[in-house]
Structure 1
Amino acid sequence: MTGTVLFSNIPKSYFKITNYMLDLVRASLCFLELDLNVIGDLKGFITEPCMKSVSVIDIISETVTAEKLSIFFNNIENPVKNVHIHSKVEGQVATSMNIFQTEILVFYETSWITREHLLGFNGNILCFKKPHFDIELVIEFIKQWRNGNNTEFIALLMTRITDVQDITSDLSEGFDFERDDGLLATILVGPPDLFQFFVWHKRFTVVEYN
């Protein structure tokens, strides 16, 4: 179920109306868009039953503290698969935070992102909208993958984010290289504002026509 989620900070009310609505239609809550700054009791929010089914979270706060992010994500009972953070984050964000192990992690405001955040990512797909870091850091990230043994990583995308589910739509013009263990990767730079680094966990096949 997607749509408006009704949440109240009135003591003990929380998601009660939402839970009731979900029960009426025998549905579960999969997608959640929220501003962490309007929630007074984050820990109470997290323990709501309907949170157990949420797999996609969009944080839309204009600015949020690292402490609030940590309280929210590090205390969610079920791991969230897809996280989009539109916010500028104030304070030091530890790379041990759960978001850095998610399947898909997208940052739309990147002025607070550090070298440690990029190199410490242990999820599958990492996306940045208008990154502020230098290309040397991207090269370091690729070297880390090439010299390491990470078999979970799938892709690094920067700037032009559209559909992260369709990142292999056109990598035919990219540069391919192999890691020592045989994993094939492709780097595609598309001026003026597109960069993709993709790891092929399943080799593509080339069909030859006579």
Structure 2
Amino acid sequence: MEFPLLNLPSLAYEKVLLNFEVADLVDFSLLSSRCHRIVRSIRFPFTGVYVGVTEHSNMIRFFLDNRQKLYPQEFGITKCDELFMWTSQHISSDELKYVFEKVQISKYLILDLQLADDFECEFVQFSMDKLKIKRPFWITNETFLAMDCVQIQLKDNGNLPIREFVSKWLSSRNTRFEWLKMEWNTHINWNEGFKTMQWNPAIRGRNFRIDSLTRLDCTEGIDFLRDDGLLATVVERNDRIYFVVWHKRFQPEADRLFSV
């Protein structure tokens, strides 16, 4: 049965729209400027979805609530530059596996999700520029060692094989990787099985630039020199471990930044 939705009183059409699926709401908001204003004025039980399209990138951010189907799979997304996903409620394994298997992300992936403690995931190939994951307990050793990202940040991670990660980089010709940051509370004897060096201020600087705001003091770090001349450093500090590569050995611009 059809009826003129916009002729209803505001409280009535709000009740109707609150039962729409997200994809239908998006379509409705595009019908006219009035429809757009109506959708913006209603407080839906999800925080929102932000889609940014510029000359240089396509960005999609999902602020999730399981009371609405606000997931990449719902929109049929298969490719984007940046994908940020947050949720305070459990997300189904099917939705997350869709992101891993179907969505090609080129620049930045952030995952801050509530997952069931028994969630498991087989091999995933992460190859975007920047990767940030909170509670990556489900990441297998194979997935971790195969990460082909420029910057990697893991929080509340399990006991992942950081020694093997460093060893693999040393035996590779990877010139893309810049740094890895992860939580770690067990001291590693890097002199065992590796050819290491102490900091020499004539070879590299003291501070490594993490981002536009922060730097890492590497004076107490352990250095590794790869066969092709690339220098890397491991720093263990405050229950965290950093593995950084000095593509630029002296970074005076980092001296003015905040120390991590």
Normalising by structure 1, we get a TM-score of: 0.69
Pick aligned residue for 1:14 from 14, 23, 26: 26
Structure 1 residue 101 corresponds to structure 2 residue 148: no
Displacement after TM superposition at 1:145 (Å): 0.7
Structure 1 residue 91 corresponds to structure 2 residue 117: no
Asked if 2 retains the 8 angstrom alpha-carbon contact of 1:56 and 1:80, the reply is no
Inter-CA distance 81–95: structure 2 relative to 1 (3 Å threshold): same
Structure 1 residue 173 corresponds to structure 2 residue 220: yes
In structure 2, how many angstroms separate the alpha carbons of the residues matched to 1:115 and 1:167?
29
Inter-CA distance 188–46: structure 2 relative to 1 (3 Å threshold): same
In structure 1, how many angstroms separate the alpha carbons of the residues matched to 2:221 and 2:61?
35
Asked if 1 retains the 8 angstrom alpha-carbon contact of 2:154 and 2:181, the reply is yes
Q: Which amino acid aligns with 1:201?
A: H
In structure 1, how many angstroms separate the alpha carbons of the residues matched to 2:134 and 2:215?
21
Instruction: Give the match's secondary structure for 2:162.
Output: helix
Q: Which amino acid aligns with 2:241?
A: F
Pick aligned residue for 2:179 from 135, 155, 158: 155
Aligned residue number for residue 4 of structure 1: none
Pick aligned residue for 2:236 from 189, 194, 201: 189
Displacement after TM superposition at 1:124 (Å): 1.0
RMSD between superposed Cα atoms in Å: 3.5
Inter-CA distance 118–47: structure 2 relative to 1 (3 Å threshold): closer
Displacement after TM superposition at 1:31 (Å): 5.7
Asked if 1 retains the 8 angstrom alpha-carbon contact of 2:223 and 2:233, the reply is yes
Aligned residue number for residue 5 of structure 1: none
Pick aligned residue for 2:62 from 19, 22, 33: 33
Aligned residue number for residue 132 of structure 1: 158
Instruction: Give the match's secondary structure for 2:243.
Output: strand
Asked if 1 retains the 8 angstrom alpha-carbon contact of 2:108 and 2:131, the reply is yes
Pick aligned residue for 2:97 from 70, 80, 84: 70
State the structure with bigger RCO (CA 8 A, min sep 6), 1 or 2. Answer: 1
In structure 2, how many angstroms separate the alpha carbons of the residues matched to 1:74 and 1:132?
23
**1:49-84 deviation per Cα after TM superposition (whole angstroms, max 9, x unaligned):** xx96x635133354334431232354446x342222
Q: Which amino acid aligns with 1:63?
A: H
Unaligned runs of 5+ in 1: 1-7, 22-26
Instruction: Give the match's secondary structure for 2:242.
Output: strand
Q: Percent identity?
A: 24
**1:112-171 deviation per Cα after TM superposition (whole angstroms, max 9, x unaligned):** 12101210101111111122215xx110111011111222111110139xx962564422
Asked if 2 retains the 8 angstrom alpha-carbon contact of 1:85 and 1:106, the reply is yes
Asked if 2 retains the 8 angstrom alpha-carbon contact of 1:14 and 1:45, the reply is no
Q: Show structure 1 runs of 4+ deviating over 6 A.
A: 18-21
Displacement after TM superposition at 1:12 (Å): 3.6
Q: Which amino acid aligns with 1:173?
A: E
Asked if 1 retains the 8 angstrom alpha-carbon contact of 2:64 and 2:87, the reply is yes
Asked if 2 retains the 8 angstrom alpha-carbon contact of 1:57 and 1:80, the reply is no
Greater radius of gyration (CA):
2
Q: Which of the pair is proportionally richer in strand?
A: 2
Structure 1 residue 59 corresponds to structure 2 residue 86: yes
In structure 2, how many angstroms separate the alpha carbons of the residues matched to 1:113 and 1:41?
21
Aligned residue number for residue 45 of structure 1: 75
Inter-CA distance 39–148: structure 2 relative to 1 (3 Å threshold): same
Unaligned runs of 5+ in 2: 1-19, 37-50, 54-58, 185-208, 253-260
Q: Which amino acid aligns with 1:106?
A: K
